[in-house]
Amino acid sequence: MKTFLFTLVLSLYILNSYAQTKNENPKKLFREFWEWVDKNYIFFNSKSIDWNMIYTKYENKINDNTPEDQLFAIMDSAVLELKDGHSLLIKPNKIGSQYNFRSGYEIHFNHNMVKKNYVTDSLGSSGNLYWAILENNIGYVYLPQFNKYGEFFNVFKLMKEKNVSRLIIDVRGNGGGNSNLVPELLGVLVKNKTLLGYYTEKTGPGHSDIIKPIGIYATPNANLCFDIPVSVLINRSCYSATTYFAAMIKGLPNVTLIGQTTGGGAGGHLGYQLSNGFQIRVSVSDFLDKNGLTTENGVEPDIFIENTRDDLLSGRDKMLETAMRLIY
């Protein structure tokens, strides 16, 4: 069967390209599914997941006559046991359930309210990226997705030229994007080569077959040193690349993370096509923080605070206000 890297955006195309009509015994299919996940998923140990127990739990619900839709639902339930928003089961014209990493959290944020009630001078925007000045000459950048690195660097430069008293980077609600250029971007915040975290991945079928973590570093930017205090606003909706960003920037000079623990999503994923055309993807790599701990379950803020629904209804953003009042 085929093994491949893929993203959700391309998944339906891939399914149509590789879908097979061959039928297999439902129990054999479940075994094929279970074995591939068993050999490739990276977080069994760090999450204390008993995959053997999960096999027994769901295999007992399958017989030789189990319909395809029911088999899909059983496999889907098994994937949810991983509690991993990057792990997903897909078949033609149907996407399985995605783990809700936001569950149990009060997540209240309205960027339009920030613009209306807190911005004193709107400076510019590019796509969803937005930058402005708040009271007391505080710089503000709203980054809802990681894909505007060139503009983001220029915003750092602009805020430095405007001699802002501090900079607030707001990534609340940012579900991810491309994190590859984050180390280069963070070079503006360091004066020496600085460890940002570690990358690791699966190397074999055993649950502990994982490579030795590889250090990821920021090197000083030769053209700009942004030595002004920085606050980063995060919430539980921050996921994937935004979790990497939060982990990388946390602990850098003059940087404070404010808000909620991010949603996690540290795993890069790999996809596999089962004999009947179902496709499964699971996390096969991990990003570790500067202490060597997985960020799969999220990055904690330096200062925990969350908005309530009543806060927003009254026009207040307590998370933003905390960053604005912070004394460095």
Name 294's Cβ contacts closer than 8 Å, sequence gap at least 6.
43, 46, 266, 286, 287, 288
Model pLDDT, residue 21: 42
pLDDT at 150 (0 to 100): 77
Would you call 163 exposed, middle or buried from its count of C-beta atoms within 10 A (0-12, 13-18, 19+)? exposed
Residue 282's beta-bridge partner residues? 270
pLDDT digits (tens, 9 = 90+) for 6-65: 333 333 333 333 334 455 799 999 999 999 999 999 999 999 999 999 999 999 999 999
Residue 23 pLDDT: 53
DSSP H or E stretch at residue 80: helix 68-80
Place of tokens 């990358």: 199
Q: How many of the other CB atoms lie within 10 Å of CB of 319?
A: 28
Query: Which residues make Cβ contacts (< 8 Å) with residue 84, sequence separation at least 6?
Result: 43, 99, 265, 267, 282, 283, 296
Domains of the chain: 3-95 (3.30.750.44), 111-267+283-325 (3.90.226.10)
The amino acid sitting at 229 is P
| Helix, coil or strand: residue 248 | helix
Dihedral-angle region of residue 192 (phi above 0 means left; psi in -120 to 50 means alpha; beta otherwise): beta
**Could you report the per-residue pLDDT of 108-149, keeping only the tens digit for each?**
999 999 999 999 999 999 888 999 999 999 999 999 988 877
Q: In what order do the strands lie in the sheet with 230-234?
A: 119-126, 129-134, 138-142, 166-170, 230-234, 255-259, 303-304
Residue type, 85: G
84: nearest Cα among 94, 99, 67: 99
Helices (H), strands (E): how many in the chain?
A: 10, 15
142 in Cβ contact with 231 (< 8 Å): no
66-103 pLDDT, tens digit per residue, is 999 999 999 999 999 999 999 999 999 999 999 999 99
| Confidence (pLDDT) at 13 | 32
**Over the stretch 287-328, which tens digit does the pLDDT of each residue have?**
999 999 999 999 999 999 999 999 999 999 999 999 999 976
| The pair of three-digit structure tokens given for residue 289, joined into one six-digit string | 């923080």
Angle at 11 between CA 9 and CA 16, to 5 degrees: 130
- Of residues 58, 93, 26, 51, the one with CA closest to residue 275: 26
